[in-house]
Chain A
């Protein structure tokens, strides 16, 4: 059974703080790693799709890195804003199957 883990489980930060969280996944048979943001009462929204070891992607204040050899990805948020409050999910896809395996998510609350 594949294990995709995320830490921390939840996080409270003040507006303006920078923060980061971790996604750990199997280091073998890697195919892709996706990050999603899931706001309450909305659909999960894709942030990044990462496929190559060493990938670094950025979208505004949010960026992500990927290390497939050691099996982890970091998501960074610079200068957190209240609208960043959401659950951040990572999803691993191996090269043996086509389904995504999701981590449990990191719940971020940004306090004004």
Chain B
């Protein structure tokens, strides 16, 4: 399978715990995006990488959130001290550079904080 994969698909955690999600993009894609989606809303931008450089980070992203893409390939998103408001679907997408290129999405990680 050469699509975008995310792991895990589902995560249930207790409030206050740390969680880490992984995204493996399409191998030749240099851009990688993280989005969060809550019920009834469109995906909300969290952060964006070009190769290993994190070029944009949403102001909505608190200090508890951190993302890395150490070798410009896979990426991890960590949430520290999770809160119930963090419960959402976390989506990863990758693309090539350029205006006319589409983004390819993974199936997402659904986080439930109890």
Contacts and interface: CB of A to CB of B under 8 A. Distances in A.
Interface of A: 4, 6, 31-32, 34, 36, 41-46, 49, 51, 89, 91, 93, 97-105
Nearest to B57: A99
Interface size of B as a range: 20 to 34
Nearest to A30: B99
18 contacts: A42-B107, A43-B3, A43-B4, A43-B107, A44-B43, A46-B102, A49-B100, A89-B43, A91-B103, A98-B50, A98-B55, A98-B56, A99-B33, A99-B45, A102-B43, A103-B42, A104-B40, A105-B42
Contacts of B100: 32, 49, 51
Given A98-B48, A99-B45, A44 B105 contact: yes
A89 B105 contact: no
Contact of B42 (A31, A89, A97, A98): A89
Q: 7 closest Cβ contacts across the A-B interface?
A: A102-B42, A46-B102, A43-B105, A104-B42, A32-B99, A44-B105, A99-B45
Contacts, number: 62
Contacts of B58: 99
B2 interface: no
Contacts of B107: 41-43
Contacts of B55: 98
Given A49-B101, A99-B48, A102-B44, 7 more contacts: A42-B107, A43-B106, A44-B43, A46-B103, A49-B100, A91-B43, A99-B45
Most buried by A among B4, B41, B48, B102: B102
A43 B56 contact: no
A35 to B, nearest CB: 10
B104 interface: yes
B45 A101 contact: yes
Most buried by A among B48, B91, B99, B101: B99
B22 interface: no
